[in-house]
Amino acid sequence: MRILREGEREEALCPTCETWRPTVYRYRTVRLEESGLDVEGVLVGVCDACGETVSLPPQSTPRLREARAPKEHVLEARIPRHLDDVVFVISEKLGAPTAALRGAIVRYYLDEVRRKATTARRVERLARSELAGGACDTRISVRVDRSAWDDVWAVARDAGVRSQSDLIRGALVAAKEDLLDERAKARRRDLERLAAAI
């Protein structure tokens, strides 16, 4: 695939001029007609004569496709403060900033739930554990891909998970067991790599 750069030139059929015209590639904001959404920074071919957009190179298609995709789901839950403390301890142990690692841990376990029914059942069981209990006096908010969330929630519900809050509480208890109690070396390695990338 040839990657075009801003300023490169070609010829294209201009629908406004109704003839072939010299064009130059420029980054512009493109409005999606179906949604009215403006997408910034899209490389397009621009007619030299009238200034209209006349072509869209293949490299710009993924940017527009992503803008059209369903947006993220915000997963919010109330959790006991001691589970937030668990995240701080894990962050210190892995040497990663807590604010960034908190969401990464939850997303990691959500993906594990989506892929493995056994993990979903474990998270459901841990959500009912003593460690997951107590006054839920702090809030956690995590952004997840909308389509991935739909898959996760379907598997979690099938495993008996009753709420998003239960899902997050169970995931945090699982993280505590896997990392702090060293019960799962493979997951620990996964999370160490994840933390190193943050």
Closest by CA position to 30, among listed 72, 2, 83, 67: 67
Q: What is this structure's pTM? A: 0.70
**pLDDT digit string, tens, across residues 103-118:** 999 999 999 999 999 9
How much of the chain exceeds pLDDT 90, in percent? 83
pLDDT digits 0-9 by tens, 8-66: 999 999 999 999 999 999 999 999 888 788 999 999 999 999 999 999 999 999 999 88
Residue 69: what pLDDT? Answer: 74
| Residue 148 to residue 108: CA distance in whole angstroms | 12
- How far apart are alpha carbons 110 and 73 in whole angstroms? 13
Phi, psi of 47 (to 5 degrees): -65, 130
Residues 68-90 have a mean pLDDT of 89
Residues 6+ apart with CB under 8 A from 76: 139, 140, 141, 142, 164
Give the pLDDT of residue 70: 65
Closest alpha carbon to 8 in 41, 44, 39, 50: 44
Q: Which residue type is seen at 88?
A: F
Calpha distance 150→73 (Å, rounded): 9
